[in-house]
Amino acid sequence: PLVPVSVLLREAAVEGYAVGAFNCSNLEIVQAIVAAAEAEKAPVIMQASQGAIKYAGVDYIAAMVRVAARGARVPVALHLDHGTSFDQVVRCLVAGFSSVMIDGSHLPLEQNIALTRRVVSAARPVGVSVEAELGRIGGVEDDIAVTDREAFFTDPEEARYFVEQTGVDSLAVAIGTAHGRYKGEPRLDFDRLTRIKELVPVPLVLHGASGVPDEAIREAIRRGVRKINIDTNIREAFVGAVRHKLDENPQEIDPRKILGPAREAAIEVIREKMRVFGCSGKV
Ligand code: G3H
Ligand code: 13P
Ligand code: ZN
Ligand code: NA
């Protein structure tokens, strides 16, 4: 059975590592994530973004992940990434997701609290854990001026109040990461992360971790991050292998000969991340 993310993060907190949360929207990447977790003996979270839901649909994703988890000797969670509404959360609960994120970070604080509370009240009775977001993580494409950057960061006092008011199981924080590829090297506000950790009793989540140097990832884990989201680095590895294969053999028309090597490339990058996160060998 699929395991709630909260259960995996509780164990991660005891031992001081982070669990990888990897985005998936097709068969090959689902298989790559579970194969990597098995090879590393690591607990793992598979997550479906808004784009994944549009592309494959909630039911296909849930079915693929359920089959992957059934054959696995490691615990597997299925998580909704950046859930947009209460209705979408309910659709995921019905489809068998073991965890959901509700992203009300664009809302005024009290509205974010109200929406998140409503999601917690629906998910908790059915044993599904809830992640919420406070502060704006955004994408590199948002192009926020450096001086305005911190206005979007998570405020530690507000985070304490938010978690108290909502009862969420984990909190995604904005400390300088962004979705997608970075132009330069990301600079993370570690002092802020530590302050949030001191005030907030639940595990913290780092989004936009593709492209963050390994040493910064390790520092974030030392300071209390317990779930780390990776999407872009998998896409790069997967599509890079597709390109390579097609360059090598432009006549290839068997999708399996193209996507098989792409799946292998995804496995490698996911395994490397798991070693950095410290979750390897924890099962
Ligand atoms: O939410 C974070 C994802 O990396 C964005 O994914 O393009 O599949 O919605 P998407
Ligand atoms: P990256 O694409 O930067 O890895 O971010 C993934 C993410 O945070 C998904 O929620
Ligand atoms: Zn994210
Ligand atoms: Na990123």
Ligand 1 atom nearest the C-alpha of 82 is 1
In a domain, 263, yes or no: no
CATH of the domain at 87: 3.20.20.70
In a domain, 107, yes or no: yes
So what's the pLDDT on residue 144? 61
In a domain, 283, yes or no: no
Total domains, the chain: 1
In a domain, 248, yes or no: no
Instruction: Report the separation in Å between the CA atom of 26 and the middle of ligand 1, taken as the mean of its atom positions.
Output: 13
Measured from the CB, is residue 194 less than 6 Å from ligand 1? no
As a whole number, the mean pLDDT across the chain is 96
So what's the pLDDT on residue 15? 98
Does position 145 have pLDDT exceeding 80, yes or no?
no
Number of residues written out for the chain: 283
Average pLDDT over residues 32-55: 98
Question: Which residues constitute the domain of residue 150?
Answer: 5-235+268-277
In a domain, 21, yes or no: yes
48 to 51, 52, 79, 106: CA distances (angstroms): 8, 5, 6, 20
Degrees, nearest 5: CA angle 238-241-242: 90
How far is it, in rounded angstroms, from Cα 228 to Cα 204? 9
Q: Whose CA is nearest to atom 8 of ligand 1?
A: 51
Assign 146 a pLDDT band (cuts: 50, 70, 90): low
Assign 149 a pLDDT band (cuts: 50, 70, 90): confident
Measured from the CB, is residue 113 less than 6 Å from ligand 1? no
Measured from the CB, is residue 81 less than 6 Å from ligand 2? yes
Q: Is 181 exposed, middle or buried (0-12, 13-18, 19+ CB in 10 A)?
A: middle
Instruction: Report the separation in Å between the CA atom of 62 and the middle of ligand 4, taken as the mean of its atom positions.
Output: 25
Nearest one of 174, 188, 177 to 232, comparing CA atoms: 177
Measured from the CB, is residue 229 less than 6 Å from ligand 2? yes
Instruction: Report the separation in Å between the CA atom of 209 and the middle of ligand 2, taken as the mean of its atom positions.
Output: 6
Active site residues: 81
Does position 140 have pLDDT exceeding 80, yes or no?
no
Please report which helix (H) or strand (E) contains residue 10, including its range.
helix 5-15
Q: What is the DSSP letter of 178?
A: -
Residue in this structure with the two tokens 């590895």, named with its chain if needed: 237
Residue 121, C-beta contacts closer than 8 angstroms, at least 6 positions apart? none
In a domain, 77, yes or no: yes
Kindly identify the ligand whose nearest atom is closest to the C-alpha of 25: 1
ipTM over 0.90: yes
Average pLDDT over residues 273-283: 98
Please report which helix (H) or strand (E) contains residue 50, including its range.
helix 50-56
In a domain, 210, yes or no: yes
